[in-house]
Amino acid sequence: MAGAPRTPFSRPGLVALLPFLWLVLFVLVPLAIVFKISLAESVLARPPYTPLFEWSGEGWPQLRASFANYTLLIEDDVYRRSLWGSLRIAALGTLAALAIGLPLAYAMSRAPRRMQGTLLLAVMLPFWTAFLIRIYAWMVLLRNEGLVNLALRALGITDVPLAMLGTEGAVVLGIAYAYLPFMVLPIYASLERQDPAVLEAAADLGAPPAAAFWSVTVPLARPGILAGCLLVFLPALGEVVIPDLLGGSGTLMLGRTIWTEFFQNRDWPMAGALTILLLVVLGGPLLWLQRQQARLLAQAER
Amino acid sequence: MPPALLALRGVCKRFGAVPALADVGFNLAAGEVLAILGPSGCGKTTLLRILAGFEAPDEGTVALDGRDILPVPPWRRPVNMMFQSYALFPHLTVERNVAFGLRQERLPRAEIAARVAEVLALVRLAGLERRMPHALSGGQRQRVALARALAKKPRLLLLDEPMAALDRRLREETQVELLALQRRLGIACILVTHDQAEAMALAHRIAVMEKGRIVQLGSPAEIYRRPANRFVASFVGDASLVAVRVLGQEGGMLAVVAAANDTLHLSVPASTAPALPPGGMGWLMLRPEAVQVAPASRTEDAGALAARITHASYAGALMHYRLALAEGIELRASRPAASGDAPPFAPGDAVRVSWPPGAAVLLAE
């Protein structure tokens, strides 16, 4: 007897192959190339690095891999400080986005149903303006003669303009501002799903609103908060434009250092090694997120 | 009379232009179970939410132990509610769910643990302390919700459709358990339900609500035997209702005639009838189990009326009949099905129907 009739859907293997192919072509292959470059040495040539294999004309081609760039990563203070700067600024930016995003998402989820669509649109509205322009706008706001300083002086809070532009604080602010929607949306999604009766139950059992918020709302929104924090932290870690425009010359972040190595020093191998470092740093939290999600899924199925 | 545990006076609530509650008032004694019975949208849930503190009435007073509780927020009221959806905390274990209210009171750890163990044993959930709510059956979730409310030792327990999410068999078992538990703890309860059987089984008194008003408040038997109006009669139990016109009093009986048929003369005990003048319109109500059905060939029942079976359905212990009593007047009758020698009637059979004199009740329009 013949087996079940064949339909295009009876072979999911082929369909799964497509995203896999995409990943190989546009993620794994470029990554391999970057890794290859990071093992080379910088030379004044075109391309500006030594080949990985050298063929002297006879016998087997010789492998010429050097881990010098990676040793330099550890030895040279600049790179360590860039990594530390990236982690610190991205973490502060994430905390700032969380401090603004959590109340914002909470307020949105408690707003009347018919207003929630409009509020969601308002959160995403900044995306309609180019990213670069929005960061430039912050330069205008934060500089010595900018609106913020004008307002502070008009209010009599300060006599001399505060130097805000070119500080680490400005970079943290820029990150919090630029990535706020990525914080708000997942938190809102997890709050919006919550049964309002659960909060009433908390009140009924003696929890005043603040206690109910911390003991019920926040724990239930944990998956959203986690996702929001990673969605802000991970891209902020490699951020180039914000530290470049809002930060000072002393604001060291990995993305910016990679940019400098690549375009100013024309040291492609070093830039490659830094990229691999950034990837390893990003990989940790990503794996952690995946484990958390797998755990939540397993819990939901039990 | 001892002072009432709970006293409501003139409670009104509107949502926009829609009145949800109109002049609701009653007393509840300590240890009493009151069922608020009514169809969906009658305002019974709004009433419960006012007692819990989630809604504020526009007018009226609510006093618990003689003190006005309307200014008291829900988290300070000695009132706890079992929600219809149970509203368990999905991120907390059974134990932590039950302990939630006690932790808010900042009781010592050991006392919390003891109280949690006590109520979990009471609802027969011991051994499931570490389970998460999603890993429980519907009946177990319901008992966690009950335990969580009981753990706070409230002055008043509110139950919002406590059995609605359970299947029929489990519902009956749970009713028995809940009843035993309530009688043992002596806790005052207000139970909101649309299920008249549940209200009758659990409550000392029933308040039947319609369109935001309490139309009748009384014991289950009072409400079943002497419904205040047509709505109560048809909502609580099954009833045949015949539109009638009052003729006048003859001895202890009030003579009436069917509105649809001038030749159909009936009578009801005058003592239970509302004061209707001769010529006044009303409804004659008969419960199906009071209506006796006999074959037309038997002539011994003098007062019996000729009728025809229009519909017969078998329900195990009972046979349910619909009978046409002259033109366009329908009665319902429920007779024991397993009466052995007497075969059940079939549609089309000519029969004679009768009922005890006291079984018919006259209701005002």
User: In the prediction, which pLDDT does A174 show?
Assistant: 94
Per-residue pLDDT of chain B (365 residues; tens, 9 = 90+): 556 899 999 999 999 888 899 999 999 999 999 999 999 888 999 999 999 999 999 999 999 999 999 999 999 999 999 999 999 999 999 999 999 999 999 999 999 999 999 999 999 898 999 999 999 998 999 999 999 999 999 999 999 998 887 888 888 888 888 899 998 899 999 999 999 989 999 999 999 999 999 999 999 999 999 898 899 998 998 899 998 888 888 877 888 888 888 788 888 888 777 777 888 888 999 999 999 888 887 666 666 888 899 998 888 888 899 999 877 788 999 988 765 656 688 888 888 888 888 888 888 87
Examine the domain organization and report whether B196 and B244 are in the same domain.
no
CA distance B189 to B204: 10
Strands (DSSP E) found in chain B: 6-15, 18-28, 33-37, 59-64, 67-68, 79-82, 156-160, 188-193, 205-210, 213-218, 240-250, 253-258, 265-269, 281-286, 292-295, 305-315, 318-324, 330-336, 350-354, 361-364
In the structure encoding, which two tokens stand for residue A258, read together?
A: 């990679």
Examine the domain organization and report whether B297 and B184 are in the same domain.
no
Examine the domain organization and report whether B28 and B163 are in the same domain.
yes
**Is B54 part of the contact surface with chain A (CB cutoff 8 Å)?**
yes
- Residue in chain A closest to B154 (alpha carbons) equals A205
Tens digit of each residue's pLDDT (9 = 90 or more) over A120-169: 999 988 888 899 999 999 999 998 888 888 898 888 888 888 888 888 99
Residue among B324, B225, B241 nearest B283 (CA)? B241
Strands A53-54 and A62-63: antiparallel
User: In the prediction, which pLDDT does B144 show?
Assistant: 95
Q: Do B53 and A211 touch (CB under 8 A)?
A: no
- Nearest by CB to B135, which of A207, A219, A302? A302
Residue B243 resides in a domain: yes
Q: What is the DSSP letter of A262?
A: I
Structural domain total, chain B = 2
Q: Do A204 and B90 touch (CB under 8 A)?
A: no
- Residue in chain B closest to A216 (alpha carbons) equals B89
**Is B288 part of the contact surface with chain A (CB cutoff 8 Å)?**
no
Residues in chain A: 302
Residue B316 resides in a domain: yes
**Is B333 part of the contact surface with chain A (CB cutoff 8 Å)?**
no
Helix, coil or strand: residue B290: helix
Separation in Å, CA of B264 to nearest CA in chain A: 55
User: In the prediction, which pLDDT does A186 show?
Assistant: 94
Average pLDDT for residues A5-13, to the nearest whole number?
Answer: 60
Separation in Å, CA of A296 to nearest CA in chain B: 11
Is it true that the peptide bond before B71 is cis, omega within 30 degrees of 0?
Answer: no
CA distance A274 to A139: 28
Q: Do B152 and A220 touch (CB under 8 A)?
A: no
User: In the prediction, which pLDDT does B172 show?
Assistant: 86
Tens digit of each residue's pLDDT (9 = 90 or more) over A194-241: 888 999 999 999 999 999 999 999 999 988 999 899 999 999 988 888
CATH assignment at residue B328? 2.40.50.100
User: In the prediction, which pLDDT does A4 show?
Assistant: 55
Contacts of A219 in chain B (CB under 8 A): 91
Helix, coil or strand: residue A7: coil
CA distance A143 to A146: 5
For the cut 70, the answer to whether the pLDDT of residue A96 exceeds it is yes
Examine the domain organization and report whether B293 and B181 are in the same domain.
no
Domain boundary among B232, B250, B271: B232
A217: left (phi over 0), alpha (psi -120 to 50) or beta: alpha
Contacts of B83 in chain A (CB under 8 A): 197, 200-201
User: In the prediction, which pLDDT does A71 show?
Assistant: 87
Q: How far is CA A31 from CA A65, A83, B121, B359, in A?
A: 16, 20, 60, 90
User: In the prediction, which pLDDT does A1 show?
Assistant: 45
Q: Do A206 and B73 touch (CB under 8 A)?
A: no
Residue B115 resides in a domain: yes
Examine the domain organization and report whether B226 and B250 are in the same domain.
no
Domain boundary among B232, B249, B279: B232
Displacement of CA A94 from its chain's centroid (Å)? 9
Examine the domain organization and report whether B202 and B263 are in the same domain.
no
Examine the domain organization and report whether B224 and B242 are in the same domain.
no
Q: Do B104 and A200 touch (CB under 8 A)?
A: no
Separation in Å, CA of A219 to nearest CA in chain B: 7
- Residue in chain B closest to A219 (alpha carbons) equals B91
A interface test, pick of B49, B82, B83 with most A CB neighbours within 10 Å: B83
Domain boundaries, chain A: 34-45+66-301
CA distance A230 to B352: 81
Examine the domain organization and report whether B221 and B315 are in the same domain.
no
Domain boundary among B179, B206, B232: B232
Examine the domain organization and report whether B253 and B321 are in the same domain.
yes
Look at the domain A34-45+66-301 and name its fold.
MetI-like fold (1.10.3720)
B interface test, pick of A195, A199, A205, A296 with most B CB neighbours within 10 Å: A205
Examine the domain organization and report whether B286 and B333 are in the same domain.
yes
- Nearest by CB to A198, which of B74, B89, B135? B89
User: In the prediction, which pLDDT does A8 show?
Assistant: 57
For the cut 70, the answer to whether the pLDDT of residue A6 exceeds it is no
For the cut 60, the answer to whether the pLDDT of residue A9 exceeds it is no
Residue among B356, B301, B362, B353 nearest B332 (CA)? B353
**Is B132 part of the contact surface with chain A (CB cutoff 8 Å)?**
yes
Q: Do A205 and B100 touch (CB under 8 A)?
A: yes
- Nearest by CB to B85, which of A195, A215, A219? A195
Contacts of A205 in chain B (CB under 8 A): 75, 80, 100-101, 104, 148-149, 152
Contacts of A207 in chain B (CB under 8 A): 75, 100, 104
Q: Do B87 and A201 touch (CB under 8 A)?
A: yes
What range does the domain containing B242 cover? Answer: 238-364
Amino acid at A69: N
**Is B81 part of the contact surface with chain A (CB cutoff 8 Å)?**
yes
Tens digit of each residue's pLDDT (9 = 90 or more) over A23-66: 899 989 999 999 988 888 888 777 888 887 777 777 777 777 78
- Residue in chain B closest to A220 (alpha carbons) equals B91
A interface test, pick of B100, B105, B130 with most A CB neighbours within 10 Å: B100
Separation in Å, CA of B184 to nearest CA in chain A: 23
ipTM, 2 dp: 0.84
Examine the domain organization and report whether B290 and B149 are in the same domain.
no
Report DSSP letters for B35-61, one per residue.
EEE--TTSSHHHHHHHHHTSS--SEEE
Q: What percent of chain A has pLDDT over 90?
A: 40
**Is B56 part of the contact surface with chain A (CB cutoff 8 Å)?**
no
Residue B1 resides in a domain: no
For the cut 80, the answer to whether the pLDDT of residue A11 exceeds it is no
Examine the domain organization and report whether B226 and B249 are in the same domain.
no
Would you list which residues of chain A are within 8 Å, Cβ to Cβ, of chain B?
195, 197-198, 200-208, 211, 215-216, 219-220, 222, 299-300, 302
User: In the prediction, which pLDDT does B93 show?
Assistant: 95
